[in-house]
């Protein structure tokens, strides 16, 4: 966000969170943090509005997380764009990133890439979706598998932290650093459910280790 956008978002924060104090030092902190966040003025306002609808006070990282969520959702909803020539590496990456940032800003994707009937029949992975996974992984510096697992988990409710569909799992108030809680990944069909050993089995394993002289 540029400096003007951040100033306008901050005005909006003050408007929407009337009980919160914003001393000058605090405002400087907000400006520094929000300026680093990719996004448009509209993203910032949408994030603030969303947060104000469910809480009375707000921290900069909550706005940043909400902006990311809004932009990621657009990318997940519109994984439809023209894939430039994969062999042309010099142009492919910048073009793909430019297209993705346009979609994340709320713009339109380009032409739809459809799978050939043969690919569909063979259950080939959706090329457009895979391209979106790779690009989002590159943008956030994460593993593509992380993005796939998170996308899948967002479709189902998390029994562990009670995150609803579309909401990222949380630990305390913070978004979790793993794609989602294990039980949610199992529910989404992303990972296999490995039953935990029972208490008796765990004790037996520990005793066996002690008997072998392991710490």
Binding mask 167-196 for Zn ion (x = CB under 5 A): --x-----------x---------------
The site for Zn ion, by CB under 5 A, has a size of: 6
Q: Give 65 or 99: the residue with its C-beta nearer to Zn ion.
A: 65
Residue 203 CB, nearest distance to Zn ion (Å)? 29
Q: Which of residues 83-142 bind Zn ion (CB under 5 A)?
A: none
Burial group, residue 71, by CB count within 10 angstroms (0-12, 13-18, 19+): buried
Residue 156 CA to residue 149 CA, distance in Å, equals: 12
Q: Which is nearer to Zn ion, 135 or 163 (CB)?
A: 163
Which residues are CB-contacts of 37 (< 8 A; sequence separation ≥ 6)?
A: 1, 64, 67, 68
| Residue 169 C-beta: closest distance to Zn ion, Å | 3
CA–CA separation, 43 vs 1, rounded Å?
A: 9
Contact status, residue 52 vs residue 58, Cβ threshold 8 Å: yes
Taking the complex as a whole, the smallest distance from the CB of residue 184 to Zn ion amounts, in Å, to 5
Residues interacting with Zn ion, by CB under 5 A? 158, 160-161, 163, 169, 181
């Amino acid at each position: 966000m540029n400096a003007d956008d951040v100033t306008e978002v901050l005005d909006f924060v003050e408007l929407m969170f009337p009980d919160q104090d914003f001393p000058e030092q605090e405002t400087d902190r907000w400006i520094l943090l929000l300026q680093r966040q990719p996004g448009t003025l509209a993203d910032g306002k949408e994030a603030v509005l969303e947060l104000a609808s469910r809480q009375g006070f707000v921290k900069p990282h909550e706005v940043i997380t909400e902006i990311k969520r809004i932009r990621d959702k657009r990318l997940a909803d519109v994984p439809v764009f023209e894939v430039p020539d994969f062999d042309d590496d010099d142009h492919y990456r910048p073009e793909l990133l430019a297209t993705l940032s346009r979609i994340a800003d709320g713009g339109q994707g380009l032409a739809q890439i459809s799978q050939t009937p043969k690919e569909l029949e063979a259950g080939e992975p959706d090329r457009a979706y895979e391209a979106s996974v790779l690009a989002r992984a590159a943008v956030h510096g994460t593993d593509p598998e992380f993005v796939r697992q998170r996308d899948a988990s967002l479709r189902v409710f998390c029994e562990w932290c009670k995150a609803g569909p579309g909401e990222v799992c949380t630990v305390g108030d913070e978004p979790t650093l793993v794609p989602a809680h294990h039980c949610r990944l199992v529910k989404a069909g992303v990972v296999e459910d490995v039953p935990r050993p029972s208490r008796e089995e765990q004790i037996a394993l520990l005793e066996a280790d002690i008997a072998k002289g392991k710490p």
